[in-house]
Structure 1
Amino acid sequence: MMAAQRVIVGLSGGVDSSVAALRLLEAGHDVEGLFMSNWSEDEEGYCQSAEDFQDARAVCELLGIPLHHADFSREYRDRVFAAFLSGYRAGVTPNPDVLCNREIKFGSFLDHARRLGAARIATGHYARTDAAGRLLRAVDADKDQTYFLHAVPAEALRHTVFPLGELHKTEVRALAKRAGLPNHDRKDSTGICFIGERPFAEFLARHLEDEAGEIEDLDGRALGRHQGLTRYTLGQRQGLRLGGVSGADDAPWFVAGKDAARNVLLVVQGHDHPALFSRRLTAVEPHWVAGVPPAVPLECMARCRHRQPLQPCRLEITGDGPLVVNFATPQRALTPGQFVVFYSGENCLGGATIATVDAPTAAGRLQSRPVSA
């Protein structure tokens, strides 16, 4: 690990960030903690920020390190939440975790830590960096979080330490228990703080105006009614309420697309229906960790969602146009608004926002269309 420095660790109250602080202390660094409040407590009371802060404070008391508290809720609302709502209004499915990392956890947090005199920041993310400033996949492939970190600026990565990058989750739990950390067996948090435990559709309904409309199959047959296009995403099965469709078998229905002009939700029957699979997408607003795009065409690996096994693909860039990604095998439920992230070996090259997907029709032919717009 690096020479001893003053490092401020972003503490969430969870076991991962706590063990990150523990490892830095054991390596001889001057360690302090910082708890970030990214969602106002008056936002309907669903965020567990107060409970998380108490867990972070208990860890700091055990480790004997100071704990700072910073409120980034305004920055989060302006830079992350506003984009989240804008994406849903546009008919796509945004990923706020990527924006939160870029704008808050490695933006506002880093700036605040520098004002507190820190040489570096650290987090409990499962990722690695090297001396060349590259972002590398974590040793624990199942926990690797580089998908969420691909948009973090290179300057921020150069001032960040990932103490868990060489560890497996089981080792992290064991270290926490051995050190007597009070949260050693705390369940991992999932989902987005501002949504909390409530149903996702319920949350969106509080912030977006929805208009009910028809649900149709790809032949234009009306099957039922949806509650608003913003409530559905590609490949979704739950919430369609399409049991017992006349002339159809008992196989479940899945969202295959949205016709925003007619306010129609398009569905197909069967998890492996051809209309749910695509080989080609275009992507926009790329961010390259190295600061410059790779030489193209490039044969590399990619994933379009967290924990998806890496998929072989060919990456092309045409002038000032979007990235074009052709996969070796069909990919299920590629979703505009989400991110495609590229890898070469252990190296995370960067990523871009999925704009359009070439989706098979029921007849098996390809038509280029933004399937969520």
Structure 2
Amino acid sequence: MTTPRIVVGVSGGVDSSVAALRLVQAGEPVAGLFMQNWADDGSGQCRAEEDRRDAVAVCGRLGIPFHFRDFSQQYWAGVFEHFLAEYAAGRTPNPDVLCNREVKFKHFLDAAQALGAERIATGHYARIDQHLGHWRLLRGADRGKDQSYFLHQLGQEQLSRTLFPIGDLEKPALRALAAEAGLATAGKKDSTGICFIGERDFRQFLSQYLPARQGDICDPDGVIIAQHPGVFYYTIGQREGLNIGGVRGRAQAPWFVVGKDVANNILYVDQDSNSPWMLSRRLRSETMHWIGGSAPARVFRCSAQTRYRQPDEDCEVTVLSDGTLLVRFDRPQRAVTPGQSLVLYDGAVCLGGAVIAATDAPMERRLAGTSLDEI
């Protein structure tokens, strides 16, 4: 058997299938590797076996070797335990970011190298190039599918060993290539949401690990208007799942989460989708990861995203002595949430990212007992 020069992470989806197809068409010695990152919990919601069958079919169609690795223990230790700890603390983590850093570009890369490969490839919508001796992570050509946000924790060593073969494609063209090649995944629906939850109810899943604890839902003035099953089931800006019916003396309008008092188990809500209680102009981050190895300057301007598929927001960044950031946005931001990722961009170039530690949103400052100057 020919030693593969590139091992493609085949997920059983159309994106990774076309990534493998394009490498085969380029004449590269390729093998496919399917990663199982979540052990079947018996709920019937895990699609891993169906996805594995599709990945095998794609590799068979392309005439490339298929490999399987079970990374579920590594995923549990490197991603899921952190996910639970963050939710228990009232923050909203992003497991896809950790999965890329801890599993796909660590354990998968190690497994590929053990098979003799020089590089790995994945079906991410992103691009890589070199500029002035450094590897750069660029947005994918399809802005609506761009996944650089989830890849911002990658470094120079990982980028030097990684290929994103579909980064220059838009989704319709990609599906057309898959259909033309007769790949079984050509019409397969894109997966959405967090991989280990699947199609089931998020709150029901989380309650298996973080038991429900009923508490009050209050308006910003502290008036109790309903009850909730646990503040950690909710995130700032959320509308769905509050189950607040008609409230006497209040308008017939939807409610939105504007704050979480974890210590007292109180959820704060308001009826304005852009409530001033959850608007912020400044944030502090945890330690920043720079893809190029260092910041472009101590103070500089760029654009940022504080959630996936958000339009670019202009801001000024100050790099503090401890490696954290102070970010000042040009206009107020809605529902910037501690625990989520701040990702910085210079045009199409992803500079890196960090976990959001705190914001100057009025409700957050009130609950934390901090002043504007402390953010």
Same fold (TM over 0.5): yes
Contact 1:102 1:153 in 2 (8 A): no
Q: Distance in 1 between matches of 2:263 and 2:99?
A: 31
**One-letter amino acid of the counterpart of residue 347, structure 1:** V
Which residue pairs with 1:264 in the alignment?
A: 266
Percent of aligned positions with the same letter in both sequences?
Answer: 55
User: Structure 1: 5+ residue runs without aligned partners?
Assistant: none
Where 2:287 maps in the other structure, the secondary structure is: strand
Q: TM-score with structure 1 length normalisation?
A: 0.94
Q: What pairs up with 1:133-212 in 2 under 5 angstroms?
A: 133-212=135-214
Q: Distance in 2 between matches of 1:368 and 1:351?
A: 24
1:111-163 CA-partner distances (Å, limit 9, x unpaired)? 00000000100000000111231101111111110000001232111100000
1:266-324 CA-partner distances (Å, limit 9, x unpaired)? 11112122222211111102111011223121100000111111110111122226311
User: Structure 2: 5+ residue runs without aligned partners?
Assistant: none
1:16-69 CA-partner distances (Å, limit 9, x unpaired)? 000000000111100100000001124534210000000001111111011000
Per the TM alignment, residue 341 of structure 1 is displaced from its structure 2 partner at its CA by 0.1
Where 1:134 maps in the other structure, the secondary structure is: strand
Indicate yes or no: 2:292 matched with 1:303.
no
> Which residue of 212, 215, 218 maps to 1:216?
218
Q: Distance in 2 between matches of 1:137 and 1:294?
A: 19
Q: What pairs up with 1:353-364 in 2 under 5 angstroms?
A: 353-360=355-362
Supply the RMSD in Å over aligned alpha carbons. 1.8
Where 2:286 maps in the other structure, the secondary structure is: strand
Q: Distance in 1 between matches of 2:216 and 2:204?
A: 20
Q: Distance in 2 between matches of 1:290 and 1:170?
A: 32
Which residue pairs with 1:87 in the alignment?
A: 86
Where 2:208 maps in the other structure, the secondary structure is: helix
**One-letter amino acid of the counterpart of residue 121, structure 2:** A
Q: What pairs up with 1:123-142 in 2 under 5 angstroms?
A: 123-131=122-130, 132-142=134-144
**One-letter amino acid of the counterpart of residue 203, structure 1:** F
Q: Distance in 2 between matches of 1:350 and 1:269?
A: 35
Q: Distance in 2 between matches of 1:213 and 1:8?
A: 50
Q: TM-score with structure 2 length normalisation?
A: 0.94
Which residue pairs with 1:105 in the alignment?
A: 104
Contact 1:215 1:266 in 2 (8 A): yes
Q: Distance in 2 between matches of 1:361 and 1:50?
A: 45
Q: Distance in 1 between matches of 2:294 and 2:278?
A: 33
- Using the TM superposition, name which of 112-121 and 207-216 deviates more: 207-216
After TM superposition, which residue ranges in structure 1, 4 or more long, deviate above 3 angstroms?
Answer: 42-45, 367-370
